[in-house]
């Protein structure tokens, strides 16, 4: 079964000082050992790399690119996917929801991915099961 990987989990995984690091790292190891298909989007990847570099430094961004990204199947956002997510984002009218989240929801729906490695409550509100 597939599991989507969200930015919030990636950042916790990279930051040993994060309060959720141990839980996310344990969940990551479990998913990798179980050979789950780990999926993310190119938008999550860009967001994660930018935030890792800004918050944790270039070494963390390199670790993400070299150690974690190879384990992920990256769904590259095309114009149709972007437009669908943008439409959902604009319709939502919510201040606390990002375009990247809407892209993630759209990828998960299109690929029938029921679970997500995340610390973001928005996924649960969309009907997805959060890991950890």
Closest CA to 117 of 19, 50, 31, 1: 31
Query: Could you tell me what percent of the chain has a pLDDT over 70?
Result: 100
Categorize the per-residue pLDDT at 121 as very low, low, confident or very high, splitting at 50, 70 and 90.
very high
Tell me whether residue 60 is in a domain: yes
Query: What's the mean pLDDT in 18-37?
Result: 98
Instruction: Give how many domains the chain has, as a whole number.
Output: 1
Summarised one tens digit per residue, pLDDT across range 36-64 is: 999 999 999 999 999 999 999 999 999 99
| pLDDT score recorded for residue 1 | 86
Domain that holds residue 102: 6-131
CATH number of 41's domain: 3.40.50.1010
């Amino acid at each position: 079964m597939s599991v989507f990987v969200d930015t919030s989990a990636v950042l916790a995984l990279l930051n040993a000082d994060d309060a959720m690091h141990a839980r996310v790292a344990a969940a990551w190891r479990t998913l990798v050992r179980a050979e789950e298909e780990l999926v993310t989007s190119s938008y999550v990847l860009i967001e994660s790399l930018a935030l890792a570099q800004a918050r944790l430094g270039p070494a963390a961004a390199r670790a993400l690119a070299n150690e974690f990204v190879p384990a992920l199947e990256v769904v590259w956002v095309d114009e149709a996917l972007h437009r669908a997510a943008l439409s959902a984002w604009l319709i939502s009218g919510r201040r606390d929801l990002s375009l990247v989240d809407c892209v993630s929801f759209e990828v998960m729906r299109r690929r029938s991915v029921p679970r997500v490695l995340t610390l973001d409550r928005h996924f649960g509100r969309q009907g997805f099961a959060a890991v950890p």
